[in-house]
Structure 1
Amino acid sequence: MAEIELLYDKKYSCIMCGKYFTTKKIRSRFVKVTGYDTDFCPSYSNPAADPNLYYINVCPGCGYSFTDDFSGYFPPGTKDSINDKVCGHWVPQDFNSERSIADAIKTYKLGVYCATLKNEKHIVTAGLYMRLAWLYRSKKDTTQEQRFLKLALKEYVDSYSADDFKGTQVSEVRLYYLIGELHIRTFNMSEAQRYFSKVIEKQKQSLEPKIIQMAKDRWQEVRDQQALGSQL
């Protein structure tokens, strides 16, 4: 009996150029999560079996880069913009085999660029920035991690303002929590407390008790840090 491989091919049709291509994905049976950071960054027993490495699909023909969360709709003018700024300058590259962290980072930057030109929802772009920050965290590159956490924070705040998270898997409570968490990680403690308080205020209506408890724990950590700082 043949051994089942970690990666398999998934077929896509590029909505920019119309060509079909295959890209690698990780079989779910190999994905073993050992824990999560407070911003939901997962740790895996096998770092090579990190689905985030293969999250972005890159058309090898034209360079259009997207995820399964991207809308199939192009607002007026955006397709021309992508065609001009991405496809028109595309030097053929193949990201559709096994990827290193460096390869994955390149795909995320392509994905973010396409999402920005396409005017994707803020909640979608925020998720790309978060995953990019996590990849830099795995490389222990704190400068780049901070850069992309701040960009993710801006997009999450914009998503909250625009209400474009509604209808996605990100609930209002989770969005409040993420904004608070990213304020902690980018050293804005007063704003972190404000958003964690918003989470706690929703505890009676929320169906996500784990998020409520995480917010309470993080809120208390901020309080403890402030108390310690005032004693020094």
Structure 2
Amino acid sequence: MDAMPSPTVTRVVEDYVTLVWKAVEWPGGTPTTTDLAEQLGVTPSTVSANLKKLARDGFLEYEPYGSIALTEAGRQIAVRMVRRHRIVETYLVERLGVPWDQVHDEADQLEHVISDALLERMDAALGHPRVDPHGDPIPDTDGNTVAPDSETLAETPPGAVVRVVRVSDRHPHVLRYLEQHAIAVGSVLHVVDVNVPAGAVWVEADGTSVEVALQAARAVRVVRGEEDRQA
């Protein structure tokens, strides 16, 4: 009896498994049908139908209204695509000067068509970076990533001195706002106040007071410094 042909790896497959992998990778993140629909710009019913197909094809483990998880086959595809995306983003920002709030969409197009040989040349030219311009860890060729223990800026207590290590690229307007106030990966911030009812966090960056909305503060991950100005 002839063996069944392997399911075709389409762009839809690549996009879905990548989003599931990234959702799990972000600390505390969980993939949901609603969130996937928002990111893909389709209806939740379309997402559910595609998740069922991907599960039948062996890329996902999925039950309606249940959890969404990658199979090993799905994980391998996701890691490959994430590595491609983040190397391309880094190259576009560092070598071509593409703004960090625009680079995601550009890389999203290129990641599906660039050859492995060219990708590895780009990686070598960049010096094999471990993170992309948003601080997202770049998987190595074996799929391993290294990320520091961190917390969101919204979780950080007043008085703490922190260093920005990662910023979500989900919302370009947040990236633009942070850039306008010189807040990027590597920036050192002094947390002045966290006011949840007011929906804002106040920080000092390079001696300048900056108000950061809670939505943006939750998109910024930081590690605390050795000093605490209220200690």
Q: TM-score, normalised by structure 1?
A: 0.31
More helix by share: 1
Q: What is the TM-score of this pair, normalised by structure 2?
A: 0.31
Higher relative contact order (CA 8 A, sep 6+): 2
